[in-house]
Structure 1
Amino acid sequence: MTIPKFECWIIIQKPVREVFSGVYDNKKISAYFTTAGASAPLKEGSTVLWEFADFPGPFPVTSKKVIDDKLIIFEWGNPDGKGENTVEFHFEALNTGETKVKVYETGWKDNEENVKLSYGNCMGWSQMISALKCYLEYGINLRKGAYKPLAGG
């Protein structure tokens, strides 16, 4: 079995500063992704809490490295409850009004459960960057009404 590592990406019709801020800034990310809030910006070395109205949380997110307008790396719990995964956001200015965002997640274990869990997270990050695009380009919260709360959550 191969240990999963995935990449998803999108081009957003906004300057890199604005796109980077859309992930880094807790008020902005709460407007389109962490539907029950994010406790603070992803300042390097800090641990913040991300909460989702449709998924039980909160989830601690530990910011490991931040390079303004270029990179955000953080760790958060593997969905199997055993260890941490690393998530990387790479921001590339294609020109003054377009930014390519790439997301990678690693840390998956070499077993069938983690392969299945990695597919779910890959889907989630693809949806997250699509929601980021909708929010920044059109002011739309793509997640609003898209998911029902899980039982007990």
Structure 2
Amino acid sequence: MVETPPIEIIEYFNAPIEKVWNVFVNENGWSPWFTDKMYMELRNEGKITFLWKQLTLGEIVEDEGYIEEIIDKRLIIFWWYKEERGYRSKVEMSFSKDENNGTWLKIIDYTQVYTLDELQIKYGCALGWGQMLNLAKLWIEKGITII
């Protein structure tokens, strides 16, 4: 395995923590604002499934994972990106409110890279998280989706 630092992204949402939490952590996942279909079993060891089509030029991309830990309105840790070696990526999403009734979301993605040729996978994940947060911000703060 190639040692690489985790992807760390922080975003501020001008919305209460309950609203932000419920957009990211719910049975329907990140649909309709990011995924075409997603399902989360909201419990430790609960299954997660993902399906994208609109953001992948019509190619159907499916994946799965599971929730490692969930603490209401504070933290969700999950594994995803299933392959023959198991799950490639562990993700921590932590939520905190501020004094202005807004919410900070910090995402740490520990995508595993096995060869230097696979660095593109990690770069793709970083790009995807940035895109996802922009779409989430539009959905949470303005109530619109652009996919």
Aligned positions of 1:72-111 closer than 5 A: 72-77=76-81, 82-84=85-87, 85-111=89-115
Q: 2:68 aligns with which of 64, 68, 71?
A: 64
Residues 75, 46 of structure 1: alpha-carbon distance in 2 compared, 3 angstrom cutoff: same
Q: Say which SS state the counterpart of residue 145 (structure 2) adopts.
A: coil
Separation in structure 2 between the aligned mates of residue 117 and residue 141 of structure 1, nearest angstrom: 26
Q: Which residue of 2 aligns with 1:6?
A: 7
Aligned positions of 1:1-150 closer than 5 A: 2-27=3-28, 29-34=30-35, 36-54=36-54, 55=56, 56-77=60-81, 82-84=85-87, 85-142=89-146, 144=147
Q: CA deviation at 1:82?
A: 4.0
- Contact 2:23–2:140 under 8 Å retained in 1: yes
Q: Say which SS state the counterpart of residue 66 (structure 1) adopts.
A: strand
Structure 1 unaligned spans of 5+: 145-153
| TM-score after normalising by structure 2 | 0.84
Q: Which residue of 2 aligns with 1:151?
A: none
Identity within the alignment, %: 22
- Contact 2:41–2:47 under 8 Å retained in 1: no
Residues 33, 58 of structure 1: alpha-carbon distance in 2 compared, 3 angstrom cutoff: same
Q: Say how many residue pairs are matched.
A: 141
